[in-house]
Amino acid sequence: MQVEDLIKAMEIIAPTRHAEAWDNVGLLVGDAKASLSRLLLTIDLGIAQVQEAKQLGCEAVIAYHPPIFKEVRRLLSDSPVYEAIRAGIAIYSPHTALDVAQGGTNDSLAEDVLGMRTSEALHLRVDGTGMGKIGVFDPPMPRVQLLERIKKRLALEHVLVAGPQTGVVRNAAVCAGSCGSLVELAVSKGVDLYLTGEMSHHNAFRAASRNMTVVCVLHSHSERLSLQRLKKRLQHALPNLDVMVSQTDNDPFDIC
C-alpha cells in the first residue's frame, strides 16, 4: 500500500474540493508513492504526536488541523513539520473538508454527542454541502439531561454554558471548532441549543439574550470524537492499513 491509496480513500470520505477556500487541505508533506502500513490520527500535530508516530512505526499522520497553514518562512528543528520530514512521515490534513462531509466532524458532534437526528446543514452552500448541522429531538429533551449527555460522551467534567439551563430542547445546531460567526444564523432558525467548541463573549451574550443555550466544550474537544468515526471508515476502505488514534493529542486548555 502507498500513501496515494490513503489520499484516494480520503477523497471519497472528505473530498478536498469541498474545503473552505481559505483552508489548506490534502497531502501537505511527503511522497504519494511512499509505502504505507501504519497511520496515526490526531487533531493537532506537535512534536509529541510526531514522536508518537515514530514510536508506533507510522509512515503517515492525518492531522485534522493543517500544520502548514499560513506562509512558512522557515522550518527549524523545533517544528513538528521539520521533525516529520526528517522521519519520513507523510502529513495529510482534511480540516474543513471533513467538517462538511457526510459522516464527518459535524455529523459526529450531532449524532455521537447529542444523539440527535440531523436534517440539514446550518449554513448551506451552493455546492450542496455546508457548515454545521441542525437536527431535532423527538420527543424534546430536557436541557439538564442533554448537558449531562454532552459531558459524558466527551468525557468532560465541565462545559461552558450561556443562556437557559432548564426547560426542554426541541432542536439544536452544532458546529465543530470555532463557530461564533454562525450563531446569528442559528438564532434566526429558532434553534434552542447551539453546541460548538468556542465562541466570543459577545456572540454568546447575543445568543443567550435571545433565549438560546450556547454550549462551548473547548475547540478540539468538539472535533476529537470524529477521529473514531474516521478510523472505522479508513479501516473499512483500507483493510490492510493499521489505523491508530493519538493518545498524546489533547486540547491545550484545561479547566481547573
Q: Comparing C-alpha atoms, which of 96, 109, 57 is closest to residue 222?
A: 109
The per-residue pLDDT for range 53-95, each reduced to its tens digit, is 999 999 999 999 999 998 888 999 999 999 999 999 999 999 9
Q: Could you check whether 3-98 and 102-222 share the same CATH topology?
A: yes
Give the model's confidence band at 11: pLDDT under 50 very low, under 70 low, under 90 confident, else very high.
Answer: very high
Return the residue matching grid coordinates 479547566: 255
Confirm or reject CATH 3.40.1390.30 for domain 3-98, answering yes or no. Answer: yes
Architecture of domain 102-222: 3-Layer(aba) Sandwich (3.40)
Q: Cα–Cα distance between 180 and 183 in angstroms, integer? A: 5
pLDDT score for 255: 80
pLDDT score for 18: 96
pLDDT score for 192: 98
Domain ranges of the chain: 3-98, 102-222
pLDDT score for 70: 85
CA distances to 35, 63, 89, 123, 135 from 3, rounded to whole Å, are 6, 14, 10, 33, 36
Q: Cα–Cα distance between 184 and 155 in angstroms, integer? A: 29
The per-residue pLDDT for range 129-149, each reduced to its tens digit, is 899 999 999 999 999 999 999
Average pLDDT over the chain, rounded to an integer: 96
